[in-house]
Chain A
Amino acid sequence: MIVYLVRRLGQSLLALVAMAILVFIGVYFIGNPVDVLINPEATQADIIATTERLGLDKPLYQQFGIFVMNALQGDLGTSFVYGRPALDIILERLPATMELALVALLLSVGIGIPLGVWAGLRPYSIAGRSIMGGSLLGFSLPNFWQGMLLILIFAVILGWLPAGGRGETTEFLGLQVSFLTLDGLSHLILPAINLALFKMSLIIRLARANTREVCLQDYVKFARAKGLSGRRVVLVHVLKNIMIPVVTIIGLELGSMVAFAIVTETVFAWPGMGKLLIDSINLLDRPVIVAYLMLTVLIIVAINLLVDVIYSLLDPRIRLSEMNG
């Protein structure tokens, strides 16, 4: 286990370094931030002064060197736009995104697994077919369009829910969260559904396929032959055995939900990290873009590690030390 973890951490570090180089070079070629940031009335001298102050007059390798040196000391740079440490600005936005992603995850698991199992148990019933049809829609409708449609139906036409924003927040464990107030909840529902729909469809399909597979296994047949109730067969024997692939997917998807809730956050004006990334790209706020992507890599790597650990708990046959990481 320890060897495995160390090896995994080493790989993660490598991924982080590769990412830093790629991102830094990529961002460098997008454009010159000074052209975007400075007031058009500024004179050439002002532009040169600002370029120097931001360190953009130095060659790329020097800028990268300075970035690495600072990063090693935990400083990911100062935002060009906000004039504050980039990491602080991102971390400020992290709770909003986390909250949204977790609620979306709960929704997709809480609804997706039961529906998927149901469809797997009765694949040819009307309910089973409708569930599959629905999941196909969830898959194929573009996220952005889905979000707009949700807003149109529930906010504009019906007027039941607000069209965007985060609503009232309260402090919970030192973080600002919105799920504890009615106003906050009402703001949370639509974006969470929007973010969850795709994952939900994925989980439904996965759960269905696995249920069908597991149902044919000998131990399920044996359990039925033993005279166990249908409920017990499903809840204990089937459910437990379809969970491994489902957990993998949940893990991977949580990572991508946190990192790339961008579309949902933009459509619903949700003040999370994704919206920050888009705004920063538009303004060429390089330090924030780089720091954001670094942080994202870190989150995804950490979640993957966690998934591997959960595997071993779900299935005793899997021993982490035996894995060739």
Chain B
Amino acid sequence: MKMRALTLPIVAGLAAAGISPATAQELAIGLKSEATSMDPQFHQLSTNIQVAKNIFEALTTQDAVQKVTPGLAESWEAIDDTTWRFNLREGVTFHDGSEFTARDVIYSFCRIPLVQNSPSPFTIYSAGIADMTAEDDHTLTITTKATNPLLPTELWSLAIVSADTLGAEEEITYGPDGTCEGMGEVPQAPAFNSPDVAVGTGPYKLETYTRGSEVVLSRFDEYWGGTPDWERVVMRPITSDGPRVAALLAGDVDMIESPPIQDLPRIEDAGLKVVDALSNRVIYLHMQQLEDAPGISGTDGENPLLDPRVREAISLSINRDAIVERIMGGYAVAAGELLPPPMFGTSERPVDPYDPERAKELLAEAGYPDGFSITLGTPNDRYINDEQVAQAVAQMLAQIGIDTRVDASTASQFFSRRNDLEFPIYMAGWGASSGDMSSPLKSLVATYDPDTGMGPTNAGRYSNPEMDALLLEAMSTIDDTKRDRMLQEAETMVLNDYGIIPLHYEQTVWAMKPNLSYEPRVDQYTMATKVEPASE
């Protein structure tokens, strides 16, 4: 470290001149937010997951476009609707040298419900597993409670920890919801701050974790997938945008995630590289479908949004291309669906055209020739340029006679108020972590029902029973072709009814030194394992 401080000015100078330093063995990454724990089963949050993914692996992995590929499981098959057999990879060792077997998998799944104080537990994935048995050390059978075609996708989220390291007994028997036997004393999340406990099978080992400051990883030489590229990886949280860009320009870090779009020309002028990719996050408008929606005036107490013609008018009044070009600086793509095609379940539906004349006609047909007044809720620090986008939408709505007031607040307030149904219309975003259409459909537009867990984020309370039925059927269909078609159909039903209005897909941006390359990921994760020295 001492050497680094002394040579820093020189290194920075070299980088600015576009010459790579001779020792490209260390990689420093500036992250937008900090991982709250090194326990991969503690907090289900992308910030934590992207760091954990360097240290821990799962049975399956997802590539840059969220296609499911083998991970610690070499192959798998669905034996019947609820039974799956996984063939585990042989010759895999944990960082402390112990061998990876089916027992570790069972232990890992058993531990999930036993993790205390989790702000957002992983049980939403593990709860559906009825039983797990090891036929031998490298063959595992998983039985699910209900048909779950997404099991291999979801398994990616469930990190495998070492049963031996964490002090399990020789014999572990699976039981659902925390009733496993032979678990021993289960270490809790704070213990994982120590490299002796945070032991995985991933390409990098945890070296130190200094809260607020940095996570240091070092190369795991015995990694089954080949020697990793970097001897040492430092991940530093730099939460403010400006300083994060400055750290890259100054050469403190080699790569940063989410540079502000406004700064990209500067970064490129400095000879640095910018890569971007379409993300799985769609920004959408949701409209309240209850009789007594708040924040609407000029309609004699009626909720005009109940009329599909009004919803269509809103969609037609929005010039998505202008938003993408002027506000998003070209780093977004106008959206016609809830997930960018060609992801699973998309139908390549064209983007709604910008047609304010037709929108006015529709409003008149619906009985609102003079429009009405409405409040548009939006967060102002959650999505890329969110408030500006909302302002633009408000102006476009005003053009067709819908007098729109923007109510922007910080994310923590916005989400609370939204969930209390305070907004007649709101703008928000949805990233489909599974990369599958069932995710936005289930959360955003399925009928809100706490008993079945459907529609949890449907704060517009849109309801379409026909779509619900089709979605439920799709969610229990193992056959991919059939499921794809059903999801497409369900999505089309909602969009034809203008139950939700997609605006654009965000693009995720990374900036780095010219001697690095990173394959941009749809899931927006920044993973050291995927950063490579550029081949020139």
Contact = CB atoms under 8 A, between A and B. Distances in A.
Interface of A: 30-33, 35-48, 50, 53, 78, 80-84, 89, 92-93, 96, 148, 151-152, 155-156, 158-160, 162-168, 181-183, 186, 266-269, 271-272, 275-276, 278-279, 281-284
Contacts, number: 181
Give 7 nearest A-B pairs by CB, closest first. A43-B453, A271-B212, A83-B117, A183-B5, A44-B450, A155-B250, A31-B416
B362 to A, nearest CB: 32
B21 interface: no
B243 A151 contact: yes
Interface string B28-45: 000001101100001111
Given A30-B413, A31-B415, A83 B239 contact: no
Contacts of B8: 159, 162, 186
Nearest to A181: B2
A76 B450 CA distance: 33
A33 B43 CA distance: 14
A182 B5 contact: yes
B25 to A, nearest CB: 18
A81 B36 contact: yes
B411 A269 contact: no
27 contacts: A31-B412, A35-B416, A39-B120, A44-B449, A83-B42, A83-B116, A83-B117, A83-B118, A89-B211, A155-B247, A155-B250, A158-B9, A159-B12, A160-B9, A163-B247, A163-B252, A164-B238, A164-B252, A165-B214, A181-B1, A183-B4, A183-B5, A266-B240, A267-B240, A269-B238, A271-B210, A284-B412
Contacts of B410: 282
B456 A159 contact: no
A282 B431 CA distance: 20
A83 B119 contact: yes
Contacts of A33: 412
A182 B2 CA distance: 7
A243 B2 CA distance: 40
Contact of A44 (B213, B236, B456): B456
Interface in B211-251: 211-214, 236-240, 242-244, 246-247, 249-251
Interface string B293-334: 000000000000000000000000000000000000000000
Q: Which among A32, A43, A45, A84 has the greatest number of chain B C-beta atoms within 10 A?
A: A43
B1 A46 contact: no
Nearest to B434: A41
Contacts of A41: 124, 433, 439, 443
Interface string B98-117: 00000000000000000011
Nearest to B211: A92
Given A36-B412, A89-B211, A162-B252, A268 B243 contact: yes
A271 B116 contact: no
Interface string B417-432: 1010000000000110
A164 B248 CA distance: 10
Nearest to A182: B5
B399 interface: no
Q: Which among B190, B211, B242, B250 has the greatest number of chain A C-beta atoms within 10 A?
A: B250
Contact of A50 (B13, B119, B188): B119
Contacts of B6: 182
Contacts of A81: 36, 43, 119
A97 B12 CA distance: 28
A182 B449 CA distance: 60
A283 B250 CA distance: 29
Contact of A156 (B2, B250, B417): B250
Given A35-B419, A36-B415, A42 B120 contact: yes
